[in-house]
């Protein structure tokens, strides 16, 4: 008598589809924070920027825009933790385009792909710089 085939093994966490669903929700979180266009980005290009605690909830909260590492850190933090209004207020379009080839290596894969999918000019900048 033949035996019934075994059902597929459950995904980690015990629930089929959980990992894929979690990744989709994570990606959607970042997509919902995107501006409509890069022209909405009017953040500061100079001076010292103090991020609110809901964005910089751990680590540095004040960034000197004249220091490249601090500027990169601010952008990384805002792209990961900022809401749509925060992104518009703290990210500058021209600086983002200029910094993207390096910045894209410092942000998570999901953040990078969401931004490059939405704004092909970022992906083009990355390819051009390579």
What is the structure's pLDDT at 71?
Answer: 98
Q: Cα Rg for the chain, rounded, in angstroms?
A: 19
Question: 83, 99, 89: which is closest to 44 by C-alpha?
Answer: 89
Whole-angstrom distance between the N-terminal and C-terminal Cα of the chain?
61
State if pTM tops 0.75.
Answer: yes
Residues 6+ apart with CB under 8 A from 59: 77
What is the structure's pLDDT at 16?
Answer: 52
d(CA 39, CA 75): 16
Q: What percent of the chain has pLDDT over 90?
A: 69
Across 108-119, average pLDDT:
95
Element housing 63 (H / E)? strand 62-64
Q: What percent of the chain has pLDDT over 70?
A: 86
Given pLDDT bands bounded at 50, 70 and 90, which one contains residue 4? very low
DSSP state of 107: S
* Half-sphere exposure at residue 100, Cβ-oriented, CA atoms within 13 angstroms: 25
d(CA 8, CA 61): 47
Question: Does residue 90 have a pLDDT over 90?
Answer: yes
For 23-60, the pLDDT digits (tens) are 788 889 999 999 999 999 999 999 999 999 999 988 89
For 66, the 3-state DSSP assignment is: coil
Quick one: tokens of 92?
């500058």
């Amino acid at each position: 008598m033949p035996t019934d085939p075994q059902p597929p093994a459950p995904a980690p966490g015990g629930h089929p589809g959980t990992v894929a669903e979690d990744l989709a929700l994570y990606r959607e979180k970042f997509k919902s924070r995107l501006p409509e266009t890069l022209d909405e980005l009017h953040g500061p290009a100079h001076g010292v920027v103090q991020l609110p605690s809901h964005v910089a909830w751990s680590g540095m909260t004040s960034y000197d825009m004249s220091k490249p590492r601090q500027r990169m850190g601010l952008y990384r933090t805002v792209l990961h933790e900022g809401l749509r209004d925060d992104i518009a207020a703290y990210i500058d379009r021209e600086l983002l385009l200029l910094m993207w080839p390096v910045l894209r290596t410092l942000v998570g894969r999901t953040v990078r792909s969401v931004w490059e999918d939405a704004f092909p000019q970022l992906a083009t900048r990355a390819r051009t710089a390579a």
